[in-house]
């Protein structure tokens, strides 16, 4: 067994949690969390909003899963940023995949509304994800 102190007993744990809680309370973090939830819901519902659910079932399932995942991540960042900040990088990755997926999964016929929904939803997820990541990096720079 190693002689290292478990994180639970670490003397700086309370200070670290307080720092991340302060970071999560910034307007940037709150707006980014909200945008991630809304963009995720938009991506999840976009197949039925624009009507491409019947034409591209694989893209429909992809958008539903990615959108709900992004919305749940946004909610988790808003509720417990000090515990979830380490996976904030997944939000921009989901946004990039949303943009790429419309070209990879839609087949040969790509409708403009389908492309616009995925590109706009993906771009908002990327920006929201970067906004979610920003407070954690700002708190690291001040220490």
- Is the overall model pTM greater than 0.75, yes or no? yes
Q: Give the tens place of pLDDT for each residue, 40-76.
A: 999 999 999 998 888 889 999 999 999 999 999 999 8
Q: How confident is the model at residue 31 (pLDDT cuts 50, 70, 90)?
A: confident
- Could you give the C-alpha distances from 103 to 12, 95, 113, in angstroms and in order? 47, 14, 13
Q: Give the tens place of pLDDT for each residue, 120-141.
A: 999 999 999 998 888 766 655 5
Contact 140, 85 (CB under 8 A): no
Q: Give the tens place of pLDDT for each residue, 69-84.
A: 999 999 988 888 777 7
Sign of CA dihedral 52, 58, 60, 62: negative
**Residue 75 buriedness (CB in 10 A; 0-12 / 13-18 / 19+):** middle
76/2: higher pLDDT? 76
What is the C-alpha radius of gyration for the chain, rounded to an integer number of angstroms?
Answer: 18
């Amino acid at each position: 067994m190693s002689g290292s102190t478990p994180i639970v007993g670490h003397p700086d744990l309370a200070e670290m949690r307080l720092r991340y809680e302060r970071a999560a309370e910034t307007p940037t973090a709150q707006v980014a969390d909200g945008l991630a939830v809304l963009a995720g819901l938009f991506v999840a519902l976009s197949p039925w909003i624009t009507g491409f659910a019947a034409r591209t079932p694989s893209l429909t399932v992809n958008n539903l899963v990615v959108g709900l995942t992004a919305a749940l991540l946004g909610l988790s960042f808003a509720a417990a940023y000090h515990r979830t900040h380490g996976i904030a990088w997944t939000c921009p990755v989901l946004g990039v995949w949303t943009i790429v997926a419309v070209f990879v999964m839609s087949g040969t016929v790509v409708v403009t509304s389908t492309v616009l929904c995925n590109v706009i939803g993906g771009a908002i997820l990327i920006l929201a994800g970067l906004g979610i990541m920003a407070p954690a990096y700002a708190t690291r720079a001040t220490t």
